[in-house]
Amino acid sequence: MKQIILLIIAVFISISGFSQNGIGNSTNWNNSLFKENPSSLELKIYPNPCKSNKITLDFNSLEIAEVQLTNITGKQVFLKKFQYPEAKKQIQFNNIQNGMYLIKVKSADNKIVVKKFIMAKE
């Protein structure tokens, strides 16, 4: 098991070095995230971990159009689409169990950011 973990770390380090040399940012890749200014895709989630049912999402200069919460098994447990997108939204999570989730935020111009989110109600 220890050898597998070391192998995974070694592969990750080599891939990181590969992309830092400019090879990973090739224009042949059809991925808009590589073409964007990273600061324009900055998403703040607070509080994280969440100890209540309410969080705030701040998507820098982009407007939030959709929020999706997925558990670690890949099951969607929350989806909210906004008719009037805004850069900052408060989200109320009812009936969400404690655990680790992926929160996917989609902007009005279809830019997507995914971050880890932890629900830790007392």
**pLDDT digits over 32-84, tens only?**
444 455 555 789 999 999 999 999 999 888 999 999 999 999 999 999 999 99
**Same domain (yes/no): 3, 50:** no
Query: The domain containing residue 47 runs over which residues?
Result: 37-119
**Same domain (yes/no): 43, 70:** yes
Q: Which residues, at least 6 apart from 50, have a Cβ–Cβ distance to it below 8 Å?
A: 93, 117, 118, 119, 120, 121
In the structure, what pLDDT confidence band is assigned to residue 122 with cuts at 50, 70 and 90? confident
**Same domain (yes/no): 16, 64:** no
Q: How many other CB atoms are found less than 10 A from the CB of residue 68? A: 18
pLDDT higher than threshold 50 for residue 21 = no
Instruction: Give the chain's domain count.
Output: 2
**Same domain (yes/no): 21, 62:** no
pLDDT for position 8: 53
CATH of the domain at 90: 2.60.40.3080
Question: From edge to edge, which strands make up the β-sheet containing 44-46?
Answer: 44-46, 54-58, 88-92
Q: Distance between CA 121 and CA 93 in Å, rounded? A: 11
**Same domain (yes/no): 99, 79:** yes
**Same domain (yes/no): 59, 113:** yes
Mean pLDDT of 106-118: 94
Q: Distance between CA 55 and CA 5 in Å, rounded? A: 34
